[in-house]
Structure 1
Amino acid sequence: MNNSTCPNTSSPLVRHIFYAYLGLLLVLGLLLNGLALWVFCCRLRKWTETHIYMVNLAAADLCLLCTLPFMLFSMNKDNSGDTVLCQLSQGIYLVNRYMSISLIMAIAVDRYVAVRHPLCGRGLRSPKQAGAVCAVLWVLVVGSQLLRWVLKDQEGGFCFGNPSRQKPQTVVFSLLGFYLPLAVLVFCSLQVVTALGQRPAADVGQMEATRKAACMIWANLVVFVVCFLPLHVVLTWRLATGLNTCVIQDILHITSKVSDANCCLDAICYYYMTKEFQEASALAGTPAAKAHKSQDSLCVTVA
């Protein structure tokens, strides 16, 4: 792998655009995720599986956003050594990126179980079990990042300004942490959209609510792919070719910042997704649907 050190040749205009982008992400992300946490923790009396997942997702996004100023500070400093602040902020950043990815996967699985296997879902879905799933995901993600740090410690740790210090075995953690959730998310999303499309509509209102719910699933999948896929494609290319040129480092930097936008989009997408699924559930109106109300509520609701 080419471990050349690339000089910082970006123009003042590029740096200003970069700072403005980070500032916008910080303001919107802190506002949206902070508001989501306030609503879930202070305004809702009943906790559901989805609420627990979304609280953890908002917390992970907030933690990631809070590392951005430290990342910017570290990137503007001399990169010859890794400070404690740099290593800590990098670790928190990576933990919460892949925790967000894992939680999005968990929400998709929870929705899939509710829609495709409603009878089994009665025993598999509960707030306590959702909390246990979140706890396990936190342990796995934090543990994997600690292992990354141990594997890279002999090279000086891992830090924002040292992309050339990436080792193949540590990149594998990132790739597995994305491609596995991506496969699960695609499968679950297709299954849920298919199930919603096959559900007979009682009236125009039910049909429209079901259509909106399906659209939100597609929107969520598109947001996930657009935010995270470019970064991991570049990581895959670098691992496969062994190249780590300045151009690849610049592309990694750009795609990494694109992935950070997911912190803002999560709050918007999942708010409307929960709303549309609640409407789809509430508008079930045929006698047959009412006769199977308990089953239908599991089939079309994520909240």
Structure 2
Amino acid sequence: MNNSTCPITNFLLVTHILYAYLGLLLLLGLLLNGLALWMFCCRLRKWTETHIYMVNLAVADLCLLCTLPFMLFSMNKDNSADTVLCQLSQGIYLTNRYMSISLIMAIAVDRYVAVRHPLCGRGLRSPKQAGAVCAVLWVLVVGSLLLRWVLKDQEGGFCFGNPSRQNPQTVVFSLLGFYLPLAVLVFCSLQVVTALGQRPAADVGQMEATRKAACMVWANLVVFVVCFLPLHVVLTWRLATGLNTCVIQDIVYITGMVSDANCCLDAICYYYMTKEFQEASALAGTPAAKAHRSQDSLCVTVA
């Protein structure tokens, strides 16, 4: 937003709140994602599909977090002219926001295949294939952002918060980059939860582990929706109505900051999600569980 006309950050209280929020987000996000990368890269001996996706997710979240100070600095300036630093930080920020969204979708699809189609999943799921999926996602996301940059550059720039450089073509990329993964995530989550609910429980321990795994699927979906949906609803409204008032710009700013909280919540949610699925799988491998398992029963395997 252009703060010469919409001075949300010119209010001292708002500025203090934003800086406190940003500081907390950076502290927790860098700590949690840095710890996750250290665990995955230095402590794990065997790489699985889930670990590869989560390493890429942690990298994307860390890259996004590192651009937040530049974003806040740019928001407090009248961006009549773009700078290389502003354009670079904007591009990294947007790339890693939608890369995070895409990776969350990929994890959901991987989980769906493992649970709903365990036999086919043996051929579809492997660390190499997970790495290939991540590479394709990086190419697609970066390619779409480069195309956005070309379209923006025709109007003079690609920098934070300047409404004169926001056009419908570039907003469409953001909306497609969110609503398509959202639809896939909702479908896969519902399918996994349904499969877990239909799964025969051999004992109380397995039933409790399965219940926890289902709760983590719901928690992951709720976190994704709460973080990303408000921003994209506002962007959709702005695209549909053509309105770009100060109120709408301020709401985009605030909901965008809310979406950044996903960088911290990803690390927590997926750590516990992996743990609960591993517990459910381990219990499913006991002799009592095997005796109750039929040929088309569901397997919850992450390793």
Please give the TM-score of this superposition, normalised by the length of structure 1.
0.95
Counterparts of 1:38 and 1:188, CA distance in 2: 29
Provide, for residues 186-241 of structure 1, a one-character-per-residue CA deviation record: whole Å limited to 9, x for no partner.
Answer: 00000000000000101000000000000000000000000000000000000000
Distance 1:252 1:295, change over 3 A: farther
Q: Per-residue deviation at 1:7?
A: 3.9
Distance in 1 between the 2:287 and 2:27 partners? 48
Q: CA deviation at 1:134?
A: 0.1
Separation (CA, whole Å) in 2 of partners of 1:14 and 1:83: 26
CA distance in 1, matches of 2:147, 2:197: 44
Gaps of 5+ in 1: none
Tell me how far apart the structure 2 counterparts of residues 285 and 101 of structure 1 sit (CA, whole Å).
32
Shift in alpha-carbon separation, 1:30–1:286, aligned structure 2, 3 A = closer
Q: Is the 8 A contact 1:111 1:192 kept in 2?
A: yes
Whether contact under 8 Å (1:2, 1:245) holds in the other structure is: no
Is the partner of 1:298 in helix, strand or coil?
Answer: coil
| 1:296 to 1:276, Cα distance in 2 relative to 1, 3 A | farther
Deviation at 1:301, TM superposition (A): 2.3
What whole-Å deviation, never above 9, does each CA across 1:137-165 have from its counterpart, x for those lacking one? Answer: 00000000000000110212221131342
**Cα distance in 1, alignment partners of residues 192 and 282 from structure 2:** 18
Counterpart CA distance in 1 for 2:6 and 2:286 is 65
Contact 1:4 1:164 in 2 (8 A): no
The CA distance in 1 between the partners of 2:8 and 2:301, in whole Å, is 50
Comparing 30-39 with 157-166, greater Cα deviation is found at: 157-166
Deviation digits for residues 10-63 of structure 1 (CA, Å, limit 9, x no counterpart): 421110000000000000000000000000000000000000000000000000
Q: Secondary structure at the match of 1:9?
A: helix
C-alpha separation in 2, matches of 1:204 and 1:258 = 39
Q: Within 5 A, what are the aligned runs for 1:281-292? A: 281-284=281-284, 287=287, 289-290=289-290
Q: CA deviation at 1:72?
A: 1.5
- The change in CA–CA distance for 1:198 and 1:152 in structure 2 (over 3 A counts) is same
Q: CA deviation at 1:283?
A: 1.1
1:12 aligns with 2:3: no
Q: What is the DSSP-based 3-state SS (H/G/I as helix, E as strand, rest coil) of the residue aligned with 2:5? A: coil
CA shift in 2, pair 1:292/1:95, >3 Å: farther
Deviates more, 1:7-16 or 1:19-28: 7-16
Aligned pair count?
Answer: 303
Change (3 A) 1:185 1:8: closer
Structure 1 residues 188 and 127, CA gap change in structure 2 (3 angstroms): same
**Structure 1 pair 244–282 and aligned structure 2 pair: CA distance change class (3 A):** same
Shift of 1:6: 2.8
Are the counterparts in 2 of residues 118 and 295 from structure 1 also a CA contact under 8 Å? no
> How many angstroms apart in 1 are the aligned matches of 2:68 and 2:9?
21
Preserved CA contact (<8 Å) 2:213 2:277:
yes
Contact 1:29 1:263 in 2 (8 A): yes
Contact conserved, 2:200 with 2:292, CA < 8 A, in 1? no
Partner of 1:215: 215
Task: Decide whether the 8 Å contact of 1:3 with 1:165 is kept in 2.
Answer: no
Verify the 8 A CA contact 1:209 1:280 in the aligned structure 2: yes
Cα deviation for residue 286 of structure 1 reads 6.2
Q: 1:191 to 1:225 in 2, by over 3 A?
A: same
Q: Deviation digits for residues 78-132 of structure 1, max 9, x if unmatched? A: 3111100000000000000000000000000000000000110000000000000
8 Å Cα contact 2:2/2:75 also seen in 1:
no
Output the CA distance in 2 between the equivalents of 1:161 and 1:102: 24
- Other structure's SS at 2:284 match: coil
* Alpha-carbon distance between aligned partners in 2 of 1:77 and 1:200, rounded to the nearest angstrom: 59
The range that moved more, 14-23 or 158-167, is 158-167
Change in Cα spacing, 1:235 to 1:3, as seen in structure 2 (3 Å) is farther
CA 1:242–1:292: 2 relative to 1, 3 Å: same
Matching residue of 1:120: 120
Flag the 1:2–1:47 CA change in 2: closer, same or farther, 3 A.
Answer: closer
Gaps of 5+ in 2: none
CA spacing shift, 1:210–1:271, aligned 2, 3 Å: same
Contact kept in structure 1, 2:63 and 2:92, CA below 8 Å? yes
